[in-house]
């Protein structure tokens, strides 16, 4: 599939791999980056090339989001692979990894195959599958990890159902580690976090919400780190959220443990008080933490203790959200707000763009071993052009996802996606009003 060459000129080129942030232009041919010209505004290309004048907007690698839930298969009214792909394209996200907690569960190579086939038919953004670590996510018997990898799954995880049995967790780590497969695990002690709707503290106490102590995360994290050390497996800590576990993670990393960690953009942006008068869009797992925890998370991201930022996209329709807080489903959609929210952090903190963007491009690419996420000749032309100064007001009802449960609803962000390319093809262009 050969498409027309594209010349992108007058950009602020941001490439986390080389650390470059400055004027630049870029040539796309045959779905790949053919040439990157740093320090110049223009670049020459073959006759008949399409020309895009970025007018000073940022050009960076398309985002790679390692934690996306859709409702397909099994709960299509929430979100389909197609609606998620459209939302991703509109958010500058060019690769998504869908979670295995669907119906049926992705614990079998045929379900991996189904998802990848559907994604190829849709053809918008790259879709990868994460396989279940255990059959049915029950946390008991190991799933067919090797066969799923052969079918194309990029890591295994038990999604939102932490593996309580330490023996099972040890075996998953040992087995997957031996095959060179990344294991993701969300650290949460299921007993301490059972039924929780908010983080433990003064706010949850006053609001009468069943609390989860941060200790639930710390305890499970320490177990996982210990088992990762024991087995030598590569572990990805899924959505670390509080200061205390961050401290333990930093210590483990300093000792050289083979561990990486993700944080959700929600936990980098919001704290428990954003729940306000029982706003269920802010009900998340893990729950939103205290402001000190949020600050520690941002610092950990800047320091590289947290490697990767995810959207934790989790669609939930009104019948699951328009309920009393403790009965409402957790989760927030996030594909379209991931990049604007990250850019908002850049504006607030003056953190270099290369640092922040690394966590959504190069770092996740390295985690799952894909060649995207870089601006260099030969890399896939998965790109996003974004006006990083433009203010936007998030109106959840206008999001592309089938479910509109955005924790960012009504929030002002700074950064607007103009154009998204995947494989050198434009999959979203704001002027054309999106890919829908």
Partner 1 sequence: MNPSVPGVDEIRSRAFPFPAKHFLSVTDLDPIQVGDLLALAEGFVALNRQKNKKLDLLKGRTLINLFFEASTRTQSSFELAGKRLGADVVNMSPRASSIVKGETLVDTAVTLNAMQPDILVVRHGSSGAASLLSQKVSCSVINAGDGQHEHPSQALLDALSMRRAFGHIDGLKVAICGDVLHSRVARSNVALLTLLGAHVRLVGPPTLMPAEVDRWGVEVHHDMKTGIAGVDVVMMLRLQLERMQGALVPSMREYFRFWGLDREKLARAAPGVRVMHPGPMNRGVEIDSDVADDLEVSLIQDQVEMGVAVRMAILASLAARLDNQ
> Should residue 209 be labelled a site residue for partner 1 when binding is judged by CB under 8 A?
yes
Scanning 207-215, 218-226, 231-239, 243-251 for contacts with partner 1 by CB under 8 A, the matching segment is 207-215
Nearby residues of 332 by Cβ (< 8 Å), 6 or more positions away: 266, 281, 282, 284, 312, 313, 314, 405, 406, 407, 408
Q: Which of 141, 230, 323, 393 binds partner 1 (CB under 8 A)?
A: 323
Q: Residue 197 Cβ, how far from partner 1 at the closest point, in Å?
A: 8
C-alpha dist (Å) from residue 148 to 119, 142, 244: 16, 12, 35
Three-state secondary structure readout of 82-144: HHHHHHHHHCCEEEEEECCCCCCCCCCHHHHHHHHHHHHHHCCCEEEEEEECEHHHCCCCECC
- Name which of 242, 224, 221 is nearest 233 in CA terms: 224
Q: In this complex, which beta carbon is closest to partner 1, that of residue 78 or of residue 358?
A: 78
What is the C-alpha separation between 173 and 180, in angstroms, rounded? Answer: 10
Q: Which of 123, 136, 201, 229 binds partner 1 (CB under 8 A)?
A: 201
Determine the distance from the C-alpha atom of residue 60 to the mean position of all C-alpha atoms in its chain, rounded to a whole number.
Answer: 16
Q: In this complex, which beta carbon is closest to partner 1, that of residue 215 or of residue 390?
A: 215
Q: In this complex, which beta carbon is closest to partner 1, that of residue 123 or of residue 210?
A: 210
Nearby residues of 272 by Cβ (< 8 Å), 6 or more positions away: 198, 199, 201, 203, 204, 287, 288, 289, 290
- The reply to whether omega before 158 is within 30° of 0 (cis) is no
Q: Residue 318 Cβ, how far from partner 1 at the closest point, in Å?
A: 9
> Should residue 216 be labelled a site residue for partner 1 when binding is judged by CB under 8 A?
no
Scanning 45-53, 165-173, 321-329, 369-377 for contacts with partner 1 by CB under 8 A, the matching segment is 321-329
Q: Which of 5, 16, 211, 287 binds partner 1 (CB under 8 A)?
A: 211
Token duo for residue 74: 């099994």
What is the C-alpha separation between 50 and 5, in angstroms, rounded? Answer: 6
Q: Residue 203 Cβ, how far from partner 1 at the closest point, in Å?
A: 9
* Count of positions on this chain that bind partner 1 (CB under 8 A): 21
Angle at 82 between CA 146 and CA 162, to 5 degrees: 45
37: which strand partners? Answer: 25
Q: Which of 36, 127, 153, 204 binds partner 1 (CB under 8 A)?
A: 204
Q: In this complex, which beta carbon is closest to partner 1, that of residue 121 or of residue 277?
A: 277
Show contacts with partner 1 in window 326-385 (CB under 8 A): 326-327
Question: Which residue has tokens 């740093």?
Answer: 38
Show contacts with partner 1 in window 255-294 (CB under 8 A): 277-278
Q: Which of 121, 202, 397, 398 binds partner 1 (CB under 8 A)?
A: 202
> Should residue 393 be labelled a site residue for partner 1 when binding is judged by CB under 8 A?
no
Q: Which of 19, 205, 391, 410 binds partner 1 (CB under 8 A)?
A: 205
Scanning 148-156, 200-208, 258-266, 346-354 for contacts with partner 1 by CB under 8 A, the matching segment is 200-208
Scanning 99-107, 145-153, 174-182, 316-324 for contacts with partner 1 by CB under 8 A, the matching segment is 316-324
Scanning 135-143, 195-203, 247-255, 294-302 for contacts with partner 1 by CB under 8 A, the matching segment is 195-203
**Are 414 and 389 contacting, i.e. CB atoms less than 8 angstroms apart?**
yes
Token duo for residue 378: 């030969």
Residues that bind partner 1 (CB under 8 A): 200-202, 204-211, 213, 277-278, 319, 322-327
């Amino acid at each position: 599939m050969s498409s027309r060459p594209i010349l992108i000129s007058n950009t602020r080129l941001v490439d986390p791999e080389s650390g470059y942030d400055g004027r630049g232009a870029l040539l796309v041919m045959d779905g790949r980056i053919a040439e990157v010209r740093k320090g110049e505004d223009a670049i020459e290309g073959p006759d008949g090339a399409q020309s895009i004048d970025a007018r000073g907007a940022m050009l960076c690698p398309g985002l790679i989001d390692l934690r996306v839930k859709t409702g397909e298969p099994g709960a299509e009214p929430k979100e389909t692979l197609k609606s998620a792909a459209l939302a991703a394209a509109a958010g500058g996200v060019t690769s998504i990894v869908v979670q295995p907690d669907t119906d049926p569960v992705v614990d079998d190579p045929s379900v991996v195959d189904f998802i990848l086939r559907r994604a190829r038919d849709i053809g918008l953004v790259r879709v990868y599958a994460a396989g279940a670590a255990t059959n049915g996510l029950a946390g008991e018997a190991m799933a067919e990890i090797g066969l799923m990898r052969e079918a194309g799954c990029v890591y295994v995880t038990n999604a939102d159902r932490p593996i309580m049995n330490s023996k099972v967790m040890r075996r998953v780590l040992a087995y997957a580690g031996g095959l060179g497969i990344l294991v993701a695990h969300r650290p949460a002690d299921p007993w301490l976090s059972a039924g929780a709707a908010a983080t433990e503290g003064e706010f949850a106490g006053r609001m009468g919400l069943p609390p989860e102590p941060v200790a639930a995360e710390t305890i499970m994290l320490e177990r996982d780190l210990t088992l990762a050390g024991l087995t030598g497996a590569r572990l990805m800590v899924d959505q670390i959220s509080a200061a205390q576990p961050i401290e333990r993670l930093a210590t483990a990393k300093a000792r050289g443990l083979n561990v990486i960690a993700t944080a959700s953009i929600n936990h980098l942006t919001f704290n428990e008080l954003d729940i306000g008068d029982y706003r269920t869009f802010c009900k998340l797992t893990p729950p939103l933490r205290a402001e000190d925890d949020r600050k520690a998370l941002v610092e950990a991201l800047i320091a590289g203790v947290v490697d990767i930022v995810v959207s934790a996209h989790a669609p939930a329709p009104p019948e699951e959200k328009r309920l009393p807080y403790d009965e409402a489903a957790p989760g927030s959609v996030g594909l379209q707000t991931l990049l604007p929210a990250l850019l908002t952090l850049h504006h607030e903190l003056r953190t270099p763009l290369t640092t922040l963007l690394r966590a959504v491009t190069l770092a996740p690419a390295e985690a799952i071993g894909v060649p995207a996420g870089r601006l260099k000749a030969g890399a896939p032309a998965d790109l996003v052009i974004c006006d990083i100064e433009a203010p936007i007001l998030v109106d959840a009802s206008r999001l592309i996802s089938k479910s509109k449960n955005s924790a960012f609803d009504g929030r002002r962000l700074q950064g607007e996606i103009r154009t998204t390319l995947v494989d050198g093809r434009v999959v979203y262009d704001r002027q054309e009003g999106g890919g829908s």
